[in-house]
Amino acid sequence: MTIHPWEQPPAGQAAVAVERIAQSLPRIASDRCILRGPYMEDFNVFADLVTSDRGRYVSGPLTREGAWDDFIQLTASWILRGCGLWTVEHQDDKRVLGFVLLGHETGDPEPELGFLFTEEAEGQGYAFEASEKARNNAWNALSFDTLVSYIDPENDRAIALAKRLGAEKVPGEMHDGCEVWRYARPEYEL
């Protein structure tokens, strides 16, 4: 694995600025996970996911350079749109389990709930816990009017997760080769 110069952690005042920005991002706890803003050291896990065969469901597999471009775009979304990529870490041992996205990427007609987890984290409910918290954040804190997941039709695990989160497939609607799975906005009585 080649570590490029742009992947080096910041030092000095840049490191202080990074910490201040990261601490200002929403941090959400579930029973076993923490959703937090991404740090530079999270990139290796992200890159491992999107450059491997697992990346085939997120427009990949990508090159490491492509992974970096995607990572910084999703991270910069926090500053420009008030939402973006969360790193999901285990509460006890702080290992990175995966990533959850609330975002509106280039070309997307609607904001998206996206999820990408390591193989080791699969099948243990972490993706559901973290994605449920992100979905609720979209409705409650961000007041989104709409939320979808764009899912490759062959990604059975993501489809099962979207269904478990309450999404329904929009019949006949596709976006960039992906099915559109819509989350119903909860209605609250006052």
Average pLDDT, the chain: 93
- Per-residue pLDDT tens over the stretch 122-177: 999 999 999 999 999 999 999 999 999 999 999 999 999 999 999 999 999 999 99
CATH number of 26-183: 3.40.630.30
Asked whether the beta carbons of 41 and 19 are under 8 A apart, the reply is no
pTM, 2 dp: 0.93
What is the pLDDT, as a whole number, of residue 189?
A: 44
By three-state DSSP, how is residue 106 classified?
A: coil
In whole angstroms, what is the distance from residue 168 CA to residue 105 CA?
21
- Per-residue pLDDT tens over the stretch 80-116: 999 999 999 999 999 999 999 999 988 999 999 999 9
What is the pLDDT, as a whole number, of residue 15?
A: 92
List all residues 6 or more positions away from 166 whose beta carbon is below 8 Å from its beta carbon.
135, 183, 184
Domain ranges, ordered by start, for the chain: 26-183
Whose tokens are 């076993």? That residue is 32
Query: The tokens of 34 are what?
Result: 């923490």
Beta bridge partners of 112: 103, 148
Do you know the residue count of the chain? 190
- Other beta carbons within 10 angstroms of residue 187's beta carbon come to 5
In whole angstroms, what is the distance from residue 146 CA to residue 33 CA?
25
What is the pLDDT, as a whole number, of residue 188?
A: 58
What is the pLDDT, as a whole number, of residue 114?
A: 97
